[in-house]
A = this chain, B = another copy of it.
């Protein structure tokens, strides 16, 4: 309203290809080619078009673009709980890789709710994302399969390729569980508890724990405690119930399904007077940043979340295959202070 003919930038309506074309004195097709196939247009015109676009603050309308080409530049990332640093890291890794290829990540936080998960999957479809990264949220939702049939590929992140045949990349969770339990057994711990939620990757961790116990030369007991969600709050609650046990029923080693849970357990146990690691050794899983800052720095299994996120993006973009990642995300035991050094480790 106020501005004369000179500055067009501040105009209310967004500039369209038509506006740019008019200003550059070319057709709309030329403007489009300038952006999608720069070599198709001569350098001279290209410059003119780009200048006009710049002056008008042209941004393009992805809706129109998508309507025509059928898919968006975005990739969807579905996680169960963004306040778990593991997922934040996964998202950061995916995002950085996506940005490097001019792509974007849409993050959906299902908060462990299947309903929201479904809603977000629909949202992804309505957004025509060109692919979906799904971090484990229980079973593979049927919607995901439907999406694939309708042309949107997905990659499961953090779930080992198992009996299912879905594309998936993951660290070796079974081996991680095995490492954790072996570490405890090597210290002479014999009354172990595994505490974890019902996620496929957690089940694998448990399988590894079981295998370590089964292979142990000395007999050892393993108890399994199932919880709903693996949060610090739940960890504290479990610690309180544990504290009510008699000395004979009390464990001397715990493997937690993830670090968040372990941190809560640790806090609850210490508040309850348990000495860690003297009375009980604790091993977490993931090696989140805060594991090192805990009241007693947490022994845990390192899990390369950011690298997984980046790889998943490359796979969806067709720059890498599942097989290429083979053996690239090996879990690793990080011994800190919630467990005793293993007898052989006293170097």
- Using a CB–CB distance below 8 Å, which chain A residues touch chain B? 9-14, 57, 59-67, 72, 82-83, 85, 88-89, 91-92, 95-96, 99, 104-109, 111, 116, 119-120, 122-123, 125-128, 146, 149-151, 232, 263-264, 266-267, 289-290, 292-297
Contacts and interface: CB of A to CB of B under 8 A. Distances in A.
Given A232-B293, A267-B293, A297-B295, A61 B150 contact: no
Nearest to A127: B62
5 contacts: A11-B149, A63-B67, A264-B293, A293-B294, A293-B295
Contacts of A128: 61-63
Given A82-B95, A91-B107, A96-B111, 17 more contacts: A9-B146, A11-B149, A12-B149, A13-B150, A59-B126, A60-B126, A62-B127, A63-B72, A63-B127, A83-B85, A83-B89, A263-B290, A267-B292, A290-B293, A293-B294, A294-B294, A295-B295
**This chain: copies in complex:** 2
Contacts of A232: 289, 293
Q: Which has the most chain B C-beta neighbours within 10 Å: A85, A89, A122?
A: A85
Contacts of A122: 59
